[in-house]
Amino acid sequence: MEINLEEVFQQKIDNEIKIEPRDWMPEKYRKTLLRQISQHAHSEIVGMLPEGNWITRAPNLRRKVALIAKVQDEAGHGLYLYSAAETLGMSRDEMLSELHSGKAKYSSIFNYPTVTWADMGAIGWLVDGAAIMNQVPLCRASYGPYARAMVRVCKEESFHQRQGYEIMLTLCTKGNPAQKAMAQDALNRWWWPSIMMFGPNDEHSPNSAQSMKWKIKRISNDELRQKFIDVTVPQADILGLTIPDKDLKWNEERGHYDFGTIDWEEFNQVVAGNGPCNKQRLKARVDAWNNGEWVRDAATAYAEKRAKREAGKTEAA
Ligand code: FAQ
């Protein structure tokens, strides 16, 4: 009897058995995972830039230490995710070259500028809050290395979210009127880009149906966006801030908040490379790569020298 590999594969997924790197998998599954995981890794690495901008200007030592730790965690997330993607057969150098050439995507959210200290609060509260909503279900993704990487990522994101919310809370409850206004201004600028992070509406999301069938994604873009809005509105109330959406209203019948129309033209422009900071972000990554070339060369030369020395010792023995 001939075994249908694709059917066996889907049965494993249906039975919640993880797919591991050496298991047979359809080529499209491998490509979809590579696309999503590498985009996710790039997002973490590019995502260090907007906050990195404020490390030298954090208002006190405690804030500075927490911000450095957060940005460092983001580097770590990028590294676990590149490692998970490498198990699918693409090298890190290839992934980076796709980022640097502009071929690979990364999250739209990191193409917005961070203009005040309150942006550090808004990013932690909203951007990490949205990331947690999207990423907790990824801990159950069908591909083992991705799911396992996400467990630690989510634990750290939860610290990041609290770090941001606490900055907002301090500005809003202990700050002077100018500081509270700064928090409101940050919310005004970060709200809509944060809800765009979840991606296009379900009916315009070309990858969702297949990714849900393969249990890479477990919850749709729109459902996650709604869940995020539902948990975030009461948090804004505690801060005493107003979400910049005049159509935002609790809908008793649906048991959810209704919200206004997202500006998809803005989203498409940012994803296409025309957001406020796309060019600056990409240039920073390319410059970092080029300026680090001598470090990579030195590390390789040292590794070769050590390997030769070790080989010499073995021969002599
Ligand atoms: N930005 O068919 P779908 C973080 C693209 S990490 C740019 O719905 P899919 C931590 C999408 O790639 C944030 N492009 O696609 C942090 C696709 O294009 P393609 C990143 C977007 O994959 C916090 C096309 O649109 N998180 O925040 C975006 O099924 C603070 C059609 O879309 C992840 O990557 C977007 N927002 O669903 C770090 C999580 N949305 O590839 C520092 C993992 C969609 O066909 C500071 N990824 N597109 O050319 C995912 O869950 C999914 O990939 C989605 C998109 C939900 C992002």
The structure's pTM equals 0.95
- How confident is the model over 265-287, as pLDDT tens digits? 999 999 999 999 999 999 999 99
- How confident is the model over 41-75, as pLDDT tens digits? 999 999 999 999 999 999 999 999 999 999 999 99
pLDDT for the residue numbered 315: 74
pLDDT for the residue numbered 313: 83
Residues with beta carbon inside 6 Å of ligand 1? 35-36, 39-40, 43-44, 47, 74, 105, 107-108, 123, 127-128, 131, 134-135, 196-200, 205-208, 211, 217, 221, 271
Distance (angstroms) between ligand 1 centre and the Cα of 169 equals 29
Partners of 19 in the β-ladder = 143
Partners of 250 in the β-ladder = 257
- How confident is the model over 147-179, as pLDDT tens digits? 999 999 999 999 999 999 999 999 999 999 999
- How confident is the model over 77-119, as pLDDT tens digits? 999 999 999 999 999 999 999 999 999 999 999 999 999 999 9
Q: Minimal CA–CA distance to 232: which of 254, 248, 251?
A: 248
111: phi then psi, degrees, rounded to nearest 5: -100, 15
- How confident is the model over 214-268, as pLDDT tens digits? 999 999 999 999 999 999 999 999 999 999 999 999 999 999 999 999 999 999 9
User: Where does 47-143 have alpha helices with state H?
Assistant: 48-52, 61-86, 92-100, 118-122, 129-135
User: Where does 175-277 have alpha helices with state H?
Assistant: 177-196, 208-213, 221-239, 264-269
Distance (angstroms) between ligand 1 centre and the Cα of 59 equals 32
pLDDT for the residue numbered 117: 98
Question: Coil, strand, or helix at residue 212?
Answer: helix
- Give CA separation, 288 vs 82, 136, 302, in Å: 17, 31, 21
Radius of gyration in angstroms for the set of CA atoms belonging to the chain, rounded to a whole number: 22
pLDDT for the residue numbered 275: 98
pLDDT for the residue numbered 1: 64
Average pLDDT over residues 10-14: 97
SS3 content of the chain, % helix, strand, coil (to 5): 70, 5, 25
Question: Which atom number of ligand 1 is nearest to the Cα of residue 44?
Answer: 38
Probe residue for ligand 1, chosen from 48, 54, 133, 271 as the CB with the greatest number of ligand atoms within 8 Å: 271
Are 248 and 259 in contact by the 8 Å Cβ rule? The answer is yes
- How confident is the model over 169-216, as pLDDT tens digits? 999 999 999 999 999 999 999 999 999 999 999 999 999 999 999 999
Distance (angstroms) between ligand 1 centre and the Cα of 196 equals 10
pLDDT for the residue numbered 316: 72
- Tell me the pLDDT band of 26, cut-offs 50, 70 and 90: very high
